[in-house]
Amino acid sequence: MGTASGIIKALNSGIKHLAVKRFTLRYPEQKLKFVGDGYQYDPTTGVGIAGYKGRHILFHDKCTGCQLCAIACEGVAEAIAMVKVNENWKHNKKAIMPQIDYGKCVFCGLCVDACPFYALYMTNDYELSSFTKEGLIYTPSQLQVKPQVQQDAEIQIDDRGASHG
Amino acid sequence: MSVIAPKFRLGYFIKALLDNIFWAVVLLTLAGIPAIMILLFYIDLPIIDGQILTPFLAFTWMTHPEMSVPLVKAFMQTDFFRIAAFPGFGFGALLAAGVIFVERKMLAKLQLRVGPFYCGKVEGILQLMSDGIKLLTKEIIIPAKADKPIFWVAPLLFVGTAAAFVSLIPVAPKTVVADIDVGLLAVFAIIGFFPIITVLSSWSANSKYPFIGGIRALHQMISFEIPLILSLLGVVILTGTLNLSEIVESQATYWWIAFLPIGAIVFFIAMLAELERIPFDLPEAESEIVAGWLTEFSGMMYGLVQLGSYLKLYAFAGLFVVLFLGGWQGPMVWPPFPEEIVTEGITMGPVTAQIPGLPLFSQEVLNGTLWFILKTAAVIFFILLPRGVFPRIRIDLLLHVGWYRLIGLSFVNIFIALGLLYAGVLGPEGIL
Amino acid sequence: MTTQLPPGLQLEKVDERIMTLNVGPQHPGSGHMRLIVQVDGDYIVACDPDPGYVHRGEEKMCEYRNYITNIPHLERPVIHDSCNILYPYCLAVEEILGLEVPERAKYVRVIASELNRCVYTMYWLAIYGIFLGHSTMFMWPMGDRELLIDLLEKITGARVTHAYFVPGGVRNDLPANFEDVCLRQVNYFEKRIKEYADIFYDNPILISRTENTGILSRQDAIRLGTTGSVLRASGVDFDIRKKEPYDVYENLDFQTNVLQSGDSYARSKIPWLDMFESCRIIRDALRKMPKSGSVRVKLKPNPKGGDVEVYRRVESGRGALGMHVISKSKPEPYRVKISVGSFRNLICIPYLLRGEKLGNMPAVYWSLNYWPVEADR
């Protein structure tokens, strides 16, 4: 009799879940909301600020071309190359800034930890796909742009189960 | 530099379309029209209202509603229509397509996900069509060492056998393709073909996993055929007939499931095993033997096997309804046909069309079909549900269940039926 | 003397009753590995596991990178359990560099590690479900795993490869309002995994299928050097979180689950029971955690250790996970040896599968809590 009651319990559980809310995140229509504006790092305390590790953002007015981010990336992904930029900054005499190849980047954020000048942060932008390999290489001027993201889906929990908004 | 997505150019697209249209027109004129003419030469043309129906007359009558309705009615009486469309293959395939859609959405709901969603705008209702097109356009790969004739023919045989099974199921009063006196025996005979086809196809593929899958399917189907057949004997004993339509008519007041619940349960479990559905999907157990006997099928060959298995599912569900749930029997809920359409015709704007031949189907047939579909849908729901709830069973447990439990239970069922018969409760001269 | 061919190249046995099946690497019932199964009818005569398809030389790679840049590639073997595979490395490197981890960081580590253990276990459970042909048990854990991945993503900023633990603490503090969200989602998660009982663990068909298959006795479990859930399912009460507590596990309130039968059913049930304990640990840690404070010791760039050898191990989702780090006064470690639970459990396969039925192969194989990529390292 244990077998029969077990089978009935399993069937009952299956039928009960027909009424539970669907949990799927319908991705292109809904996008998950992240904490903050992306991963940042405070070199004075040596502790990061929680946030999503997406595409980088580079502040040209703070970057000194010190190459610490490229050195930090050396053993990890070797995605960062320093390239010449056509800009004149007093603090960046060599006029070199990081260029990031997202075909190689593993989004560990160690380059952000390495930057002592608050110049390199990460953002919430993760939609980086491209038809070409060249399209994945982001030049300093592309990295400068603050991404436009519309992410507002959050996990909501109520009596009928959890769902994405 | 390679570009993954080639650039779309409207010119090429239109050129391709025009090319296709051109070739279609050329082929139709050069080959199609002569073929139709040759075909028409050999076909006996029906006589309607004392006139031989020529293609010319048929096309002329199509413009007159009062003439086209008898034409359609005459067509619906032909064997071809009965086999290919209404009670036969087309009806079964349509229901099977519905089953696939419902299975996907219901399973998705049970598993808290969405299921097909984008194809066809409304909840992915056209997903099956796109899957069919995908399967049609895929390459068919035949293993090099396969026994090619048998390997090619096996999916066709599978679908054909399933369609033969469908043709035996009565849908409504006098609406069945083959209304034969030994209907149930014919069902058993047709079921007996499936293991043979399975083992032939798996053996001819000349590969290890299909071979194991085929052997498993053979074991499973043969060992579950015995309880399947025995569980139906109770109904035969009580009704005294093998004709499926007569079995349905015998359930006008009460359904056999009320007296033979054990037989119904045994038949249901044996049916799941015959259909190779979870929890009895051992012949296709993917984590053990890849896809079992379907491993080497590709493209539309796989699609045909799937079509056949869903036709088989519909046919088994229909058989369950016919034998235990009273088939088409049910209260009359279909509204009667409005008489004034026949007498006064349909007025559309300035034109009034007199249509004498209506209705195409009688009220009983439509009502019976409705009840049959409703009951079949309920049975199919219970066939689909275990897929979301149970894991796969093991072969030794399966055979144990088949040979020890189910056969024993089906004998108990037969004794119950005999007891009811000899006690004079039921049967040809029963008190009920 | 005949030359010994490698396992895959051996000619078919002369005995025609025996059929050799190559289960994997291109097989839905294997991971990135191969089981060479010899069957006589439906019975498995011999089974020879053949791992190594995803060997990437993690240990050698460690010798060319400094202590910090080792972090992103060390978590690659088990991206679903990346916090736990970095845990012993961080503990060992902290010992080498002489770092004192802040109290709050220890609690944050425990929370992240327990969340990650659940994420791994859900993934494992999903595959166990689909190996047994239970498609709902594939979809449910994959969906409910999202609750915890969401939490981990809020903490660490990435969904699977977190690179969150560093020698000297963690990369960043918890976000604001994290405790409320965490409690809400963990409580709902616990409610969800309770519902697995009816449909999976108490399902009579599952029990009839997995009970008394692949029995590993207590003596054999110890003799073969198994670890983690396999060891606990065979009746050995061994959990490194209890026996050699690291960080703050000694302050936290939890228990180890031990089952005596040692069959596939017990092996599959232990990780599920452990998830309830993980939820308990997370709630307890959130309560006992210091409300503020630093979470990371500031490191010099390119830190060097002395001439020391350190071995640290933790309880990962698959059992004991140890890292032996040798430092020779250089920024790079001289040698890193990774001892993983998966590889130690893999050795049971030939013992457990001999004489079983072919249908039991996936059930027994995946119940060993084996992750092929981690075993190959």
How far is it, in rounded angstroms, from Cα B5 to Cα C52? 36
Residue C197 C-beta-side C-alpha neighbours within 13 Å: 7
Q: Residue A98 phi/psi, 5° resolution?
A: -70, 140
Alpha-carbon distance values, B429 to B208, B325, B426 (Å): 56, 22, 7
Q: Which domain covers residue A65, as residue numbers? A: 32-149
Enter the tokens of residue C318: 């698959």
- Look at residue C251 and tell me if it is in a domain: yes
Which segment of B111-120, B144-153, B351-360, B379-388 scores lowest on mean pLDDT? B351-360
Enter the tokens of residue B36: 């139709």
CB nearest A23 (choices: C64, C143, C156):
C143
- Look at residue A48 and tell me if it is in a domain: yes
Number of folded domains in chain C? 1
CATH code: domain of residue A138 = 3.30.70.3270
The alpha carbon torsion through B342, B344, B349, B351 (nearest 10 deg) reads 80
Enter the tokens of residue A110: 């160690």
The predicted pLDDT at position A109 comes to: 85
The conformation of residue B404, written as its DSSP 8-state character, comes to: I
- In chain B, pLDDT over 90 holds for what percent of residues? 3
How far is it, in rounded angstroms, from Cα B373 to Cα A143? 61
pLDDT per residue as tens digits for the range B107-136: 888 888 888 888 777 777 888 888 888 888
Give mean pLDDT, residues B268-286: 83
- Look at residue A154 and tell me if it is in a domain: no
- Look at residue A164 and tell me if it is in a domain: no
Window C:187-216, CB contacts with B under 8 Å: 199-200, 203, 205-206, 208-209
- Look at residue A70 and tell me if it is in a domain: yes
What secondary structure, in 3-state letters, does chain C show?
CCCCCCHHHCCCCCCCCEEEEEECCCCCCCCCCEEEEEEECCEEEEEEEECCCCCCCHHHHHCCCCCCCHHHHHCCCCHHHHHHHHHHHHHHHHHHHCCCCCHHHHHHHHHHHHHHHHHHHHHHHHHHHHHCCCCHHHHHHHHHHHHHHHHHHHHHCCCCCCCCEECCEECECCCCCHHHHHHHHHHHHHHHHHCHHHHHHCCHHHHHHHCCCCCCCHHHHHHCCCCCHHHHHCCCCCCHHHHCCCCCHHHCCCCCCCCCCCCHHHHHHHHHHHHHHHHHHHHHHHHHCCCCCCCECCCCCCCCCCCCEEEEEEEECCEEEEEEEEECCCCCEEEEEEECHHHHHHCCHHHHHCCCEHHHHHHHHHHCCCCHHHHHC
Number of folded domains in chain A? 1
Using CA coordinates, name the residue in chain C closest to A113: C171
Per DSSP bridges, beta strands C169-170 and C165-166 are: antiparallel
Which segment of B335-339, B400-404, C111-115 scores lowest on mean pLDDT? B335-339
Contact C359 B388 (CB under 8 A): no
Residue B24: band (very low, low, confident or very high) from pLDDT cuts 50, 70, 90? very high
- Look at residue A3 and tell me if it is in a domain: no
Give mean pLDDT, residues B290-316: 87
Q: Residue A57 phi/psi, 5° resolution?
A: -130, 135
The CA angle A127-C69-C327, to the nearest 5 degrees, is 160
Size of the B and C interface in Cβ pairs below 8 Å = 84
Computed over every residue of chain B, the mean pLDDT equals 82
pLDDT at C10 over 70: no
Q: Which domain covers residue C76, as residue numbers? A: 58-339
How far is it, in rounded angstroms, from Cα A53 to Cα A46? 17
How far is it, in rounded angstroms, from Cα C11 to Cα C7? 9
The conformation of residue B137, written as its DSSP 8-state character, comes to: H
Prediction pTM value: 0.85
- Look at residue A90 and tell me if it is in a domain: yes
CB nearest A48 (choices: C143, C146, C171):
C171
How far is it, in rounded angstroms, from Cα B248 to Cα B171? 10
Q: Residue B392 phi/psi, 5° resolution?
A: -75, 145
At C23, which amino acid appears? V
- In chain B, pLDDT over 70 holds for what percent of residues? 90
Helix and strand element counts for chain B (H, E): 19, 4
CB nearest A157 (choices: C154, C188, C202):
C188
- Radius of gyration of chain A measured on its C-alpha atoms: 23
The predicted pLDDT at position B48 comes to: 66
pLDDT at A130 over 60: yes
Size of the A and C interface in Cβ pairs below 8 Å = 112
Give mean pLDDT, residues A12-36: 84
Q: Which is more confident, C4 or B254?
A: B254
The predicted pLDDT at position B46 comes to: 67
pLDDT per residue as tens digits for the range B162-212: 888 888 888 888 778 878 888 888 888 888 888 888 888 888 888 888 888
- Look at residue C30 and tell me if it is in a domain: no
Contact A47 C70 (CB under 8 A): no
Give mean pLDDT, residues C222-237: 88
- Look at residue C278 and tell me if it is in a domain: yes
CATH code: domain of residue C156 = 1.10.645.10
Enter the tokens of residue B241: 């007939």
User: With contacts defined as CB-CB under 8 Å, which chain A residues touch C297?
Assistant: 46
Put simply, whether C361 touches B (Cβ < 8 Å) is yes
Residue C115 C-beta-side C-alpha neighbours within 13 Å: 31
Residue with the two structure tokens 């229901």: B95
Instruction: Choose, out of C136, C145, C193, the residue to mutate when testing the contact with B (most B CBs < 10 Å).
Output: C136
Give mean pLDDT, residues B219-247: 85
Alpha-carbon distance values, B431 to A111, A157, B326, B424, C146 (Å): 90, 59, 19, 6, 63
pLDDT per residue as tens digits for the range C240-289: 888 888 888 888 888 888 888 888 888 888 899 988 989 999 998 888 88
Give mean pLDDT, residues C2-20: 59
Computed over every residue of chain C, the mean pLDDT equals 85
Q: Which helix (H) or strand (E) holds A120?
A: strand A120-122
CB nearest C154 (choices: A50, A76, A107):
A50
So where are chain B's domains?
83-331+352-422
Residue C1: band (very low, low, confident or very high) from pLDDT cuts 50, 70, 90? very low
Please give, rounded to a whole number of angstroms, the shortest distance from the CA of C137 to a CA of chain A: 11
The predicted pLDDT at position C16 comes to: 67
pLDDT per residue as tens digits for the range C293-305: 888 887 777 788 7
Residues facing residue C339 across a β-bridge: C322
- Look at residue C33 and tell me if it is in a domain: no
User: With contacts defined as CB-CB under 8 Å, which chain C residues touch B109?
Assistant: none
**Residue B432 burial (CB count, 10 A):** 10
User: With contacts defined as CB-CB under 8 Å, which chain B residues touch A17?
Assistant: 109-112
Please give, rounded to a whole number of angstroms, the shortest distance from the CA of C82 to a CA of chain B: 27
Q: Which is more confident, C369 or B44?
A: C369
The predicted pLDDT at position B335 comes to: 77
Put simply, whether A28 touches C (Cβ < 8 Å) is no
Burial zone of C122 (CB within 10 Å; 0-12 exposed, 13-18 middle, 19+ buried) = buried
pLDDT per residue as tens digits for the range B315-351: 899 889 988 888 888 787 777 777 777 677 667 666 6
Give, to the nearest 10 degrees, the angle between helix B89-110 and helix B363-389.
Answer: 40
User: With contacts defined as CB-CB under 8 Å, which chain B residues touch C29?
Assistant: 286-288, 290
How far is it, in rounded angstroms, from Cα B352 to Cα B341? 10
